[in-house]
Amino acid sequence: MRQSNRIKICRAGLAGSRHIPRIIYNDDSCTLRNSPPPHTSETMACALDYLKGTQVDCLCWCVGAQIAYSWPSKVIENFYDLVAERETSFGGLHLRGNVMCSLHRQGIDYLPLLIRRAHAQGLMFVASFRMNDTHHKSYPNSVLSPEFWKTHQHYRIWDATDAKSYYNAALDYSYPEVRNRYRSAIVEVASEYDVDGIELDFTRSPYFFQPSEAWRKRTILTRFVREVRDALKRITATTAKAGQAAGQVGTRRKRSLILILRIPSLERALTTAGIDARRWIMDQLAPILVISELVGNFNQDIGPWRTLCRQAGVLLYPAAGDGPPAYNMADFYSPLVRNLLAPRHDGQVRFTDDEQMRYKRAAAQNLLAQEPDGIYLFNFPCWLAEGKNIMHTDPAKFRRVTSLLREMGSLKTLARKNKKFTFYKDLPIYVEANRPRRFHQTIPFAIRGKDIRDAMVTLRFRWIAERNPHADEKFRQHSIVKSGLVKVYLNDREIPERKLKKTRAPVGRIPSGFLLKAHEIVELQAPGRELRDGENTLAFEMPKFPHERDPYVYIYEFEVELNF
């Protein structure tokens, strides 16, 4: 399909919007959960003011999941009532800071006010629903555990074992009651509030049927999405005709309600979720598709998705910076990962705020260089209102970190800014004597962007010598890798030993969560012209005939920094 025709189709799906968004940003409403009291209607400004002058054009505001936690629903259980009953805290944050709850107790529904303010700033406002969120279900008395969930435990997806069974709190969409609850909630919000559209977030959490049954039940989920799309069309038509009384939504709505679908992009995740993504695209169930690998992956190739979406006239938004993965979660039980209890259940690594800024620039650049229609940000920077809460405790730092929103929507504004690329996902790998580097001893890594040549590059990884698992003799293996034992190659060019800077690291947990003995951090500096715009390789070899006392050398936490 020609590009001009595709854009026409996309614009038809976005009828009434000003332009195709550069950045679509999902805020799970935490910017309104921890604000110092007292609270008034003006307190809501903290959720929107920092977006002024940024490249964010569309705000997806998370309103609910298995409960309504951002609006006073009449059709499903809502957060406000559960809080009133239990007078508890949510997510470790005291409810006294929750602006939404405070205003509700004052008889004020904040949501229409927030939408009106967003529109005044030129933002599209989309109500986002997490389609099977297992958040805080690990303690069932949480205020995110409604009675429907408690009394329908036989609906749970007990077959899901990923992340130490974290996801088995999700409910099975095979049951009409489950689908009807979500449909009713979506229709209520779309009908009662002046939203620009609805987002269905199928990535949090990506299970909708028992995994072993999911793919053969995929038509159930496809039919559900089609029903939601058709319901939005009916609401648009009905409110446009019926809005005679002043103040009704229909008198103001002069645009179609758009539908955004956020889905996992890995084939394994799509199969176990029962998401027939290609059918959804080709049937044009929504004008915007968001894809996510659930954690950040700098080697992500969006080419096949881009081709498919362009053929169908669907806009594609890959998610940038979902968080660097500690290891390949698909291989959680692999014997290669000897320290199974080390990684977090979500496989993510936590960085400092400065590291996050470099990381997110890099994630955005690697995706934008592949020419999607824009990028999607999930829970950034709204999480800065939680934890240390720098949104309110350190406003200057908050402004500095959120300045990223002025850069991340364009390669031009990202150029020549310091970046950090992490490649933890398929690590550790191990190096053994005599094995050629092309056999599982090479780390492919993608660095994209025309500004690479102007940068000074630092490549960094950790390595540690472990006892040969096939050795019969009793001996103590020293964990520090002997000088000259392992050769290192950057893009098939051997790096002289003298150029490797080695720093001893003590025993302890490393950022990716693994517990290591004393080991070394290895650094290599190189001019940017030694990297390719695209795929690069870092490879290792131990070129000697094997002996049973030769160690296995494990490689952890490979990362690349570009400094300008």
pLDDT in tens, 52-70: 999 999 999 999 998 998 9
Q: How high is the pLDDT of residue 85?
A: 73
Q: Are residues 75 and 184 in the same domain?
A: yes
Q: What is the CATH number of the domain that holds 110?
A: 3.20.20.80
Q: How high is the pLDDT of residue 337?
A: 42
Contact 522, 464 (CB under 8 A): no
Q: Are residues 264 and 151 in the same domain?
A: yes
Number of domains in the chain: 2
Phi, psi (5° rounding) for residue 232?
Answer: -65, -40
Q: Are residues 344 and 486 in the same domain?
A: no
pLDDT in tens, 193-226: 999 999 999 998 899 999 999 999 999 999 999 9
**Pick from 370, 389, 414: which residue ends a domain?**
414
DSSP assignment of 461-482 equals EEEEEE--TT--S--PPPSSPP
Structure tokens at 305: 């998705």
Residue 4's nearest CA partner among 250, 313, 274 is 313
Q: How high is the pLDDT of residue 246?
A: 45
Is residue 219, in this structure, part of any structural domain at all? yes
Q: How high is the pLDDT of residue 505?
A: 98
Residue 243 confidence class, pLDDT cut points 50, 70, 90: low
Q: What angle do CA 193, 196, 199 make, to 5 degrees?
A: 95
Is residue 93, in this structure, part of any structural domain at all? yes
Q: What percent of the chain has pLDDT over 90?
A: 73
Is the pLDDT at 331 greater than 50, yes or no? no
Is residue 151, in this structure, part of any structural domain at all? yes
506-517 as b/e, with b when 16 or more CB fall inside 10 Å?
A: eeeebbbbbebe
Mean pLDDT of 511-530: 94
Residue 279 confidence class, pLDDT cut points 50, 70, 90: very high
Is residue 478, in this structure, part of any structural domain at all? yes
Residue 242 confidence class, pLDDT cut points 50, 70, 90: low
Q: Are residues 500 and 407 in the same domain?
A: no
Q: Are residues 193 and 325 in the same domain?
A: yes
DSSP assignment of 257-277 equals PEEEEEEE-SHHHHHHHT--H
Is the pLDDT at 261 greater than 50, yes or no? yes
Is residue 422, in this structure, part of any structural domain at all? no
Residue 509 confidence class, pLDDT cut points 50, 70, 90: confident
Tokens 């039980």 identify what position? 333
**Pick from 361, 379, 414: which residue ends a domain?**
414
Q: Rounded to an integer, what distance in angstroms lies between the CA atom of residue 62 and that of residue 199?
A: 9
Higher pLDDT: 77 or 381? It is 77
Angle between helices 395-402 and 353-368 (to 10 degrees): 20
Least trusted range by pLDDT, from 112-126, 155-169, 321-335, 478-492: 321-335
DSSP assignment of 344-409 equals -TT-B----HHHHHHHHHHHHHHHHTT--S-EEEESTTGGGGSTT-HHHH-HHHHHHHHGGGGTTT
Q: How high is the pLDDT of residue 407?
A: 97
Q: Are residues 355 and 440 in the same domain?
A: no
Is residue 177, in this structure, part of any structural domain at all? yes
**Does an H or E element contain 57, and which?**
strand 56-64
Contact 535, 446 (CB under 8 A): yes
Angle between helices 176-192 and 218-242 (to 10 degrees): 30
Is the pLDDT at 2 greater than 60, yes or no? no
Q: Are residues 111 and 224 in the same domain?
A: yes
Least trusted range by pLDDT, from 68-77, 89-98, 285-294, 401-410: 89-98
Tokens 């070129």 identify what position? 543
Is the pLDDT at 244 greater than 70, yes or no? no
Tokens 């074992």 identify what position? 161
Residue 126's nearest CA partner among 207, 214, 198 is 198
Contact 129, 201 (CB under 8 A): yes
Q: Are residues 452 and 525 in the same domain?
A: yes
Structure tokens at 492: 């098939």
Q: Are residues 70 and 201 in the same domain?
A: yes
Q: Are residues 439 and 532 in the same domain?
A: yes
Q: Are residues 99 and 236 in the same domain?
A: yes
Is the pLDDT at 133 greater than 80, yes or no? yes
Structure tokens at 395: 């406003």
Q: How high is the pLDDT of residue 325?
A: 62
Q: Are residues 265 and 168 in the same domain?
A: yes
pLDDT in tens, 263-274: 999 999 999 999
Is residue 420, in this structure, part of any structural domain at all? no
| Partners of 288 in the β-ladder | 260, 315
Is residue 421, in this structure, part of any structural domain at all? no
Q: What is the CATH number of the domain that holds 461?
A: 2.60.120
Residue 28 to residues 178, 231, 260, 417, 441, Cα–Cα distance (Å):
22, 24, 16, 28, 40
Is the pLDDT at 241 greater than 90, yes or no? no
Q: Which domain holds residue 554?
A: 427-563
| Average pLDDT over all residues of the chain | 89
Full 3-state SS string of 442-464: EEEEEECCCCHHHCEEEEEEEEE
Q: Rounded to an integer, what distance in angstroms lies between the CA atom of residue 439 and that of residue 430?
A: 11
246-253: long-range contacts at Cβ-Cβ below 8 A with a sequence spacing of 24 or more? 249/191, 249/192, 249/193, 249/194, 252/194, 253/194
DSSP helix/strand/coil, 78: strand
Residue 253 confidence class, pLDDT cut points 50, 70, 90: low
Structure tokens at 202: 């199928």
In this structure, the strands spanning 501-505 and 519-527 are antiparallel
Q: Rounded to an integer, what distance in angstroms lies between the CA atom of residue 132 and that of residue 523?
A: 43
Q: How high is the pLDDT of residue 254?
A: 59
pLDDT in tens, 337-392: 444 444 454 555 677 888 889 999 999 999 999 999 999 999 888 888 887 789 99
pTM: 0.91
